Structure 1
Amino acid sequence: MARFIGTYLGPTLAERGLTTEIYLGTMSNTDSGKDGTVLSAVTGDATAMRYVKGFGLQWNMLSSVSGLRSRNLPIVQTEHKCGNYPWNPAGMPPFNASAAPNDHAYAEESWKLIRDWIQAGVTSYSAWNMVLDTAGKNLDSQRPWPQNALLTVDTGTKTLNVTPAYHVFRHVSEYVDPGALRVGTTGGDALAFKNPDGTIVTVLYNAGNAAKATTLGVAGKKLQFSIPAHGWATVNWK
């Protein structure tokens, strides 16, 4: 891969004056060592890295983010976990072979994944399935996998359903503008961003079984409000 990028792909794009950018990815598997080896080989090759403009990492590559941040290139999380995992049939919750759960538990799992990747330092985070039918099955006949999505369509009633995971993604994206920078937080389970216009967006999560009275301090000012049980609150501080 390093030789392909450095000797062929990169020089060809440059020679032809194309603005196409080369991203190394999407890398998906650290367990087998395959993608980790490719990542190491390319990043260790100065010629190849002259042409690489960013990295794409799937959900099994979180541990690789820290080592790439020194490159000062975009790091894109390219595939959010789809939930309802067929390789864990006895898990909690167990695998449902008939339909994707699209439940609140998956929304809470989604929050933790988004939070961890953003705190690790990725530039952007991508949902995998935007819209699926209610069953959500893939086309793999060997291992059918009903996957969760942000939106589902009931093909029988022809209605669009908004899933709990959609609201999680909305909490983290609605007021966070392109070019926003993550800012540090103390106390509680939260993410915060500073937009280019100076506004501060804070997303807070309450994992408890009861509503939680919360005090948020931003720029020397305080705001008090309640966060619902197993829920979120987003504050756009102008």
Structure 2
Amino acid sequence: LLSAPLFSAGREAHWICSTGSAPWGEQIVPTAVFDGTDHRVLVIDPDIEFQEIDGFGGCFNERGWDALSFLSQGEREQVLNELFHPVTGAKFSLCRMPIGANDYSFDYYSLADVAEDYDLRHFSMEREHKYLIPYIKSALQVQPELTLFASPWSPPQWMKINGFYACQGQKETSRLRWTPEVLQAYALYFSKFIQAYRAEGIPVQALHVQNEVDACQIFPSCLWSGEELTEFYRDYLIPRLDEDRVQIELWLGTINYGDIRHYADVMFADPLCRERVTGVSYQWDGKHAVAETHLKYPEKKIMQSENECGDGANDVKAGLYTFSLMKKYFEGGANSYIYWNMVLDESGMSTWGWKQNAMITINRDSRLPIYNFEFYVMKHFSHFIDPGARRIKTAGYNEEALAFKNSDGSIIVALMNDSFINKYITLRLGKEMIQVNVPSGSVNTIVFYSR
């Protein structure tokens, strides 16, 4: 790492820098009295606070656990520690899990595949014991305080008009059969899922009723309008959960549509939904609705529920783009940020032929993990920003920076340099400053510990 000499010793800042060739380099940088000599000044103002941060994490998928199974027990435990350990690892504390099949399951399935079984007498957790339950329980052993939220990619296929899990280009039929019998059965499906996982010792704390409500895919998917979601929550899901005494956070999501009028405005116009729904989860095109949602409904939480997946290159470019997404979401008011596949094998391939990125790649031949650049990008945030932290104001040279304040008073600055040249930057905190020469193509964290 490159650091400019400073003028007088004060308290120290901790600087962590990651480039593609040199991840997670650490050094101590002493502070000095701000002297006003530099024009490129990033000003951090801890007295102006914004939204609270709930946490960071990724998604548990079948193919992730399958990839981890190629490692020795020791290597697998090391990977899980790197992701979840609350002291030494990335400290992931908020993670997603699918309800039934998604694009990184091995095939189509649900937990209620017997057609017209409206009472769900054949509801089964048998498949969950092969991949998802051991994956999640292994994470919980490392981080017992892990918070989990769940969402389906598709209802059981017999509940859909097209009778099939995927959409396959037929938007008008890739929807729920809108009859009281099906809607009651689907609400029961969610209640049974939550209770079944809790009986396994896996506490699902939040429910998001549909992944990407506006996506027609060749893998499991189902389309919903805002009006349909509102009716389902109000007339079927909330009454079912209340009757079964299942307490859980309900979220509107995950929304991949960038116009607030089609989903958030519709649901929050309903008094019961406005009262009972905790927040909105956005991903992909939904990022364009984040700031407006936060401004219009400041009492509602906002989650980035799935990082954009890339093309399997797992390169620095993808990591820098992820940083830019995090900046857009957090400056828009998001409270949390969730990566997609935490772990995949070296192919990165989904069951339906889409090659995607992962934070950690497992090589099946060498049986060794590779920590990709996006792992370090996520860790630059999640390792330092505690749940309960607040985003704080930055000014001046802040186009590639975010700042946060933990409850212990420490100040966390996340800083990117996506240019082709190193950048000499002054960071000002009150009357103090540090000056750093930030490498090209790098992601950085600078920690000012409280006195």
Q: Secondary structure at the match of 1:203?
A: strand
1:108 aligned onto 2:333: no
2:370 to 119, 139, 161: 161
CA drift at 1:20: 1.0
1:171 to 367, 373, 380: 380
Alignment of 1:203-218 (within 5 A): 203-218=414-429
What do the CA deviations read for 1:63-122 (whole angstroms, capped 9, x no partner)? 2112322241211110100112xxxxxxxxxxxxxxx21111111111111111111110
CA drift at 1:13: 2.5
- 1:219 & 1:211 partners in 2: Cα distance? 25
Question: What TM-score do you get using the length of structure 1 for normalisation?
Answer: 0.85
Alignment of 1:44-83 (within 5 A): 44-69=269-294, 70-83=297-310
Q: Which amino acid aligns with 1:136?
A: G
Moved over 2 A (4+): 11-18, 35-40
CA drift at 1:15: 4.1
RMSD: 1.7
Asked if 2 retains the 8 angstrom alpha-carbon contact of 1:6 and 1:51, the reply is: no
Asked if 2 retains the 8 angstrom alpha-carbon contact of 1:29 and 1:36, the reply is: no
Alignment of 1:21-170 (within 5 A): 21-30=249-258, 37-69=262-294, 70-84=297-311, 100-140=312-352, 144-170=353-379
1:12 aligned onto 2:237: no
Please, which runs of 5 or more residues in structure 1 have no aligned partner? 85-99
Please, which runs of 5 or more residues in structure 2 have no aligned partner? 1-228
1:231 aligned onto 2:438: no
The structure number with the bigger radius of gyration is: 2
Asked if 2 retains the 8 angstrom alpha-carbon contact of 1:3 and 1:48, the reply is: no
CA drift at 1:235: 0.9
Question: Bigger CA drift: 109-118 or 1-10?
Answer: 1-10
Q: Which amino acid aligns with 2:389?
A: A
Asked if 1 retains the 8 angstrom alpha-carbon contact of 2:309 and 2:357, the reply is: yes
CA drift at 1:160: 0.2
Q: Secondary structure at the match of 1:209?
A: coil
What do the CA deviations read for 1:170-227 (whole angstroms, capped 9, x no partner)? 1122110001111111213101001111111001111222222221111321011221
Asked if 1 retains the 8 angstrom alpha-carbon contact of 2:427 and 2:435, the reply is: yes
What percentage of residue pairs aligned between the two structures are identical? 30
Q: Which amino acid aligns with 2:441?
A: H
Q: Secondary structure at the match of 2:341?
A: coil
Question: What TM-score do you get using the length of structure 2 for normalisation?
Answer: 0.46
- 2:291 & 2:233 partners in 1: Cα distance? 23
Q: Which amino acid aligns with 1:129?
A: N
Q: Relative to structure 1, is the Cα distance of residues 227 and 17 closer, same or farther in structure 2, using a 3 angstrom cutoff?
A: same
CA drift at 1:2: 1.2
Structure 1 residue aligned with 2:140: none
Q: Relative to structure 1, is the Cα distance of residues 106 and 200 closer, same or farther in structure 2, using a 3 angstrom cutoff?
A: same
Q: Which amino acid aligns with 1:213?
A: Y
Structure 1 residue aligned with 2:404: 193
Q: Relative to structure 1, is the Cα distance of residues 184 and 71 closer, same or farther in structure 2, using a 3 angstrom cutoff?
A: closer
- 1:54 & 1:167 partners in 2: Cα distance? 28
